[in-house]
Structure 1
C-alpha cells in the first residue's frame, strides 16, 4: 500500500484508538456485545499494525501471511455468529466483510516484493507492484464508501433510535444517562465509522 507518511501515522493513531475503545466495550455485561467488541478490537489493532509505514518497520513476508490467517479466523467467527443468529445479522455481515477485506489486504502485502510491504512501501513500484484484483478492490471500496455514508448519517442528531447499536437510547446520539461508556451506541457506531473510514483509505492505497 502507498500513502504519505503523515497519513499512515494518522491511520495508525485512528485505528489504535478505535481498537482501544473496543477493548473498553468488551467489558459490557452482554455476552453478544463482548464478543462483537473483541472482534472489532482485533480489527482495529490489526489495521493499526498494517498501517505502520514500511520506512519504520518493514515486516518480512511471513508476517503478512500470519495476519491473513488471524483475520481469516476472525471471519470464520463472524460467519459462525451470523449463522447462529447471535445479535443483528446486518452487523455480523459488516464484520465478516471487514475481516475478509483485512485478509485480502494482507494477501496483497504478502505478495509484494521484498522491502515494499507497507503503507508507504509500495510507492513507485511500477511493474513490480503486487496488484490485488481490481474487481475485488472496487467492490470493497464501494461497500465501505456506502457504509461510511450510512454510519455518518446515522450519527446525525435524531437519527439514532432506541435499540440502535444494541443499547437503548432515546432520540439521538447524545450522552445517555445511566449507560456505561462501553455500552454507548453512538460511540460504538462512531468507532465503526472510524474503522470504516480507515479501511476505505487503506483500500485506496492498493
Structure 2
C-alpha cells in the first residue's frame, strides 16, 4: 500500500484532513448526517494510517486483521441501512474495499503492511477501481456550480439584493459541518485517495 514517501505523505494529509472534517460534521443536528459522518471519519483516518510511509511506522501483525474485522462489520451495517437510503450502498462498497485492502496487506509475502504489485486479485481490484473512478467523476461533476439567473435578478424573486441578503444570512446560519458542498468535496477527496491506494495493489 505504501509507495514513495512524498506521495504517501500527500495521501496521509488528504485522508487525515477529510477525517477531521467528518468529525466536524458529527456536530450536525441532523442525526442521519452525524452517523454518516462518523463512519466516514473512521474511514478517512484508517486510510491515512494505511498511507503512512513504511520507513516511518510499521503496524503490528494483528493490525490488518483487526482493520478487516472492523470494516467488515461496517460494510454489513451500511448494507443493512441501505434499505432506507441508497447512499449507504456507497458506504458499504467503501468499507468492503477497506476489508479487501486489509486482507491483501495481511497476506502480502514478507510484510504485514505492504501491498506489493500483483498481491491483490486483479479482477476485484479492477472492479473497485472502476467503481471509485466513476464515483470521483460523478462527485466532481456535482461540485460544478449550477448556472445562476440573469444578473441582478435573485433566484426565486425579482429583488436581487433581498435574495442576496437572505442567502448571506443562510450561509451565516449554516455551520461548517452542515454545508453539503463541503461534504461532497470531502467524499470526493476520499474517493480519489481510494483510487490511488487501489492502484498500488
TM range (shorter): 0.7 to 0.9
SS in structure 2 opposite 1:42? helix
Is 1:149 equivalent to 2:137 in the alignment?
A: yes
Flag as ranges the 4+ runs of structure 1 deviating above 3 A.
Answer: none
1:78 Cα offset (Å): 0.8
Alignment of 1:26-105 (within 5 A): 26-83=26-83, 85=84, 88-89=85-86, 91-105=87-101
1:73 Cα offset (Å): 1.5
SS in structure 2 opposite 1:176? helix
Map of 2:17 onto structure 1? 17
Query: Which of the numbers 188, 192, 195 marks the counterpart of 2:190?
Result: 195
8 Å CA contact 2:64, 2:106 repeated in 1: yes
8 Å CA contact 1:151, 1:193 repeated in 2: yes
Q: Return the alpha-carbon distance in structure 1 between the equivalents of residues 44 and 112 of structure 2.
A: 22
Query: Number of residues paired by the alignment?
Result: 180
Q: Return the alpha-carbon distance in structure 1 between the equivalents of residues 21 and 70 of structure 2.
A: 21
TM-score, normalised by the number of residues in structure 1:
0.82
Map of 2:127 onto structure 1? 139
Larger radius of gyration: 2
Q: Return the alpha-carbon distance in structure 1 between the equivalents of residues 66 and 10 of structure 2.
A: 24
Q: Return the alpha-carbon distance in structure 1 between the equivalents of residues 2 and 41 of structure 2.
A: 24
Q: Return the alpha-carbon distance in structure 2 between the equivalents of residues 60 and 112 of structure 1.
A: 14
Gaps of 5+ in 1: 123-128, 160-174
8 Å CA contact 2:2, 2:51 repeated in 1: no
8 Å CA contact 2:71, 2:95 repeated in 1: yes
1:2 Cα offset (Å): 4.5
1:116 Cα offset (Å): 5.9
Q: Return the alpha-carbon distance in structure 2 between the equivalents of residues 80 and 133 of structure 1.
A: 26
Q: Return the alpha-carbon distance in structure 1 between the equivalents of residues 25 and 103 of structure 2.
A: 29
1:60 Cα offset (Å): 2.9
Pairwise CA RMSD of aligned residues?
Answer: 1.9
Distance 1:118 1:203, change over 3 A: same
8 Å CA contact 2:2, 2:54 repeated in 1: no
